[in-house]
Structure 1
Amino acid sequence: MTDDQPATPALLPAGLRDLLPPDAEIEAAAIEAMLSCFASHGYQRVKPPLVEFEQSLLGGSGAAVAEQTFRMMDPESHRMLAIRADTTPQVARIATTRLGRAPRPLRLSYAGQCLRLRGSQLAPDRQVAQAGIELIGSDAPEADAEIVLAGAEALAAVGLTEVSFDLTMPTMAALLLDGEGFKPERREALAHALDRKDAAAVTALGGAIAGTLTGLLLAAGEAAPALAALAAAELPPEARALADRLAAVVAAIRARAPALRLTVDPLEFRGFRYHTGPCLTVYALGHQQELGRGGRYISGEREPATGLTLFPDAILGAAKPPAPRPRLYLPARTDDAVAAGFRADGFATIAALDEGAQPAEHEARRLLCTHVLSDGAAVPLA
């Protein structure tokens, strides 16, 4: 025997939750609106499976999310399976295999649920919805700009126009630190100081590049001054190429969307594990939670790619709730053509199933209706 209490039917594991009306419908509509926007830019939808063999799911870029991945034994093949924690590696696999001969650049979109071993303080959910795009086969700065602009348009489609795209170079800090030959302990301490944005510690630990590191650390902010600081900094060749690439991406974005809010954090590297070039994180003004994240990576073994994953849960938390669909109560035996007409006008029709259900207004309120059909018209309930 154990002292465990009986399980409550409504109790779910930590980080998992039911999505109830009207939130489930709102989320589904928002995802479809974003995917429709992506489709208008030529992104074709794919639907990878929720579960794959561990070896394929966690190969390539998928290795970066291995520590967040649920695993289980397949009773059919007796091989280890893994539940996706992120969709991008799956889309990269599809592009490399099933669509390996498709014309490049390849534009793909997706939406689905992911499961993670643990949440974070800001995002405690372990089951998360994703909707995103991947542009595979082009290394042009315009490709990076395209995913930013398509992402901004998709967010506007669900009512979020006050957004900021934070552009980063997650490999920049490593390029600068590796070039100085720091001992492992000092390098780790310096990387920790950069992660904490601790300028005093960076100055104390940075040695010959302390001035460069501190200057770039303090330059984080609006894109123009941050890029000016990068242009003036003394950088080794690889780091200079990365900085020039970021400047080219910003220029490509500005050429098409001069009013879009862009910020640059030259030394930010947290959370980007398989990215190889300019990356981005999306925020709504006044909200801390990320709306999306993406950037440049390698698809397969060597194919250039870039993408953006949006998080519908966070997006709906930041967006103004849409007006609820009006609910119209229909008395029993209402003509089907009449009911269809009201549905075409945007009503959800709630049909009475019992002719004896009276009075109609009382029954309509009980079923959470906003209107009742009377003399052929939808009459609002007071």
Structure 2
Amino acid sequence: MVWSCNAGRTKVRTGVVVFSALKDQATVALPADTDYARRALLPAGLRDELPPEAEHRAHCIDTLLRSFAGEGYERVDPPLVEFEDSLLNGADASVAAQTFRLMDPVSQRMLAVRPDVTVQIARIATTRLGGRPRPLRLAYAGSVLRVRGDQLNPERQLTQVGAELIGPDLVTADVEVIRIAIEALRALGLKGLSVDLNLAPLVPAVLDQYGIHGDARSELRAALDRKDAAAVAALAGPAGETLAGLLAATGPARAALMLLTSLELPAAVAPYREKLKAIVQAILDEVPDIGLTLDPVEHRGFEYYTGVGFSLFATGVRGELGRGGRYGVTPMDDEPGQPATGVTLYLDAVMQAAPSAKPRKRLYLPLGTPATIAQWHRSEGWVTVAGLQIDHDPAAEAKRLNCRHVWISDAIVAL
């Protein structure tokens, strides 16, 4: 058994891999030493989703995908488990470290449970849909499983909904992905949305230009992450003025962009700034009412991005609603890579911000109600709950089954 993290003992029985709870997760105490309690217990970071939350999740997924579909993004549905070598082809180290692995008893090859759907979309785009014309617009929704949660979200099974635009390396493509993400979230009724733009390749390019490598580079990168201007000045040497300017160019997009434009950047990194300027201006033109901020030194979680990245936020919601940006699709063979840009929405965060769909009215139909009556009311938007035995008090039975209306004497009676 191959295991990427220290997760305690692992057993393999007839092809079924049983993972013990992670050592650093809190132990859940059983209320009593009963068989029922043991069967009800789930692994750390996993949970049952019950009504009405499960219905709310389904509504959110459907609304987001319909919004993407309206923009020409066709849905794909890759499997939960793949061969390890194909799933992790081109993935960065953080994805590999979050991946559950198990042995396939049929092929005797290692399998991996996807920790992220984007890597699968890249595989599909370069193999099964490799001959489709570009730009290729794809959308997806599905669960992912990760070795560990994080401080903001301890859950290990998450739902991702996203869209990927594969083909052109154009400002218009970057802007389209950001715009459709905003519009999809607004279709769910989200308010107070904002977008934070970053440019992950910018700082590494500056450090390369000034020949900053090794431990000095790591220390300087950590200081930039902390937004510690004094430490940056002490560590950066000749790059100090440029990096201080990048730190200052953080905040509301218009003001930050003016500061960024005034900087004298090395010739090798100036094109990054020009593309960022074009994207900012296009977003402000197309979505003028969106909150737009800029952080040119942010890179955590964006390490594999090759251009502008972004995070989505909503007022009153802790953490990101999603993130995306420009990256490169790595092919399975020796073919050249393809440029791509996309967005992944974190459904658990989105659900916190999205207003719940108005519950449908439930109508109780006592035993013997004609099927045509039930069909007609369902066509009118009712949820019909059929009685399975003769009720002496249909109204009481309706209330017991969470129905606020009952069919009595060929009429709907409100309770």
Distance in 2 (alpha carbons) for counterparts of 1:12 and 1:47: 26
Distance in 2 (alpha carbons) for counterparts of 1:152 and 1:162: 11
Alpha-carbon offset, residue 183 of structure 1: 5.0
Structural mapping, 1:347-358, within 5 Å: 347-355=382-390, 357-358=391-392
Judge conservation of contact 1:61–1:299 (CA < 8 Å) in 2: no
Judge conservation of contact 2:84–2:111 (CA < 8 Å) in 1: yes
Query: Which residue number in structure 2 is paired with residue 363 of structure 1?
Result: 397
Distance in 1 (alpha carbons) for counterparts of 2:392 and 2:225: 66
Query: Which residue number in structure 2 is paired with residue 345 of structure 1?
Result: 380
Query: Which residue number in structure 1 is paired with residue 83 of structure 2?
Result: 53
Aligned residue type for 1:205: L
Distance in 1 (alpha carbons) for counterparts of 2:64 and 2:71: 11
Does the residue aligned with 1:287 lie in a helix, a strand or coil?
Answer: coil
Query: Which residue number in structure 2 is paired with residue 245 of structure 1?
Result: 275
Query: Which residue number in structure 1 is paired with residue 247 of structure 2?
Result: 217
Judge conservation of contact 1:176–1:236 (CA < 8 Å) in 2: yes
Query: Which residue number in structure 2 is paired with residue 292 of structure 1?
Result: 322
How many residue pairs are counted as aligned between the two chains? 377
Structural mapping, 1:314-325, within 5 Å: 314-325=349-360
User: Which string of whole-angstrom CA distances, capped at 9 and with x for unpartnered residues, describes residues 68-120 of structure 1?
Assistant: 11101111111110011111111011110111110100000111000011011
Given candidates 180, 186, 206, the residue that maps to 2:210 is 180
Does the residue aligned with 1:251 lie in a helix, a strand or coil?
Answer: helix
Question: Is 1:192 the counterpart of 2:222 in the alignment?
Answer: yes
Query: Which residue number in structure 2 is paired with residue 35 of structure 1?
Result: 65
Does the residue aligned with 2:50 lie in a helix, a strand or coil?
Answer: coil
* Structure 1 residues 380 and 173: CA distance shift in structure 2, 3 A: farther
Judge conservation of contact 2:311–2:320 (CA < 8 Å) in 1: yes
Alpha-carbon offset, residue 185 of structure 1: 2.1
Query: Which residue number in structure 1 is paired with residue 98 of structure 2?
Result: 68
Does the residue aligned with 2:256 lie in a helix, a strand or coil?
Answer: helix
Alpha-carbon offset, residue 337 of structure 1: 1.6
Aligned residue type for 1:96: T
Deviates more, 1:206-215 or 1:169-178: 206-215
Question: Is 1:310 the counterpart of 2:340 in the alignment?
Answer: no
Q: TM-score, normalised by structure 1?
A: 0.94
Does the residue aligned with 1:305 lie in a helix, a strand or coil?
Answer: strand
User: Which string of whole-angstrom CA distances, capped at 9 and with x for unpartnered residues, describes residues 314-370 of structure 1?
Assistant: 101112222222221111111212112221222211111011x23112111111112
* Structure 1 residues 330 and 67: CA distance shift in structure 2, 3 A: same
* Structure 2: stretches of 5+ with no match in the other structure: 1-29, 331-335
* Structure 1: stretches of 5+ with no match in the other structure: none
Indicate the structure whose relative CO is greater, using CA pairs within 8 Å and at least 6 residues apart: 1
Alpha-carbon offset, residue 225 of structure 1: 1.1
User: Which string of whole-angstrom CA distances, capped at 9 and with x for unpartnered residues, describes residues 282-327 of structure 1?
Assistant: 1112222211111111112421100001111110111222222222
Given candidates 34, 42, 51, the residue that maps to 1:12 is 42
Query: Which residue number in structure 1 is paired with residue 412 of structure 2?
Result: 378
Query: Which residue number in structure 2 is paired with residue 272 of structure 1?
Result: 302
Q: TM-score, normalised by structure 2?
A: 0.87
Judge conservation of contact 1:282–1:291 (CA < 8 Å) in 2: yes
Question: Is 1:147 the counterpart of 2:177 in the alignment?
Answer: yes
Deviates more, 1:45-54 or 1:198-207: 198-207
Taking every aligned residue pair, what percent have the same amino acid on both sides? 51
Q: Alignment RMSD, CA only?
A: 1.7
User: Which string of whole-angstrom CA distances, capped at 9 and with x for unpartnered residues, describes residues 10-37 of structure 1?
Assistant: 2111111111001111111110111011
Distance in 2 (alpha carbons) for counterparts of 1:277 and 1:215: 19
Aligned residue type for 2:361: P
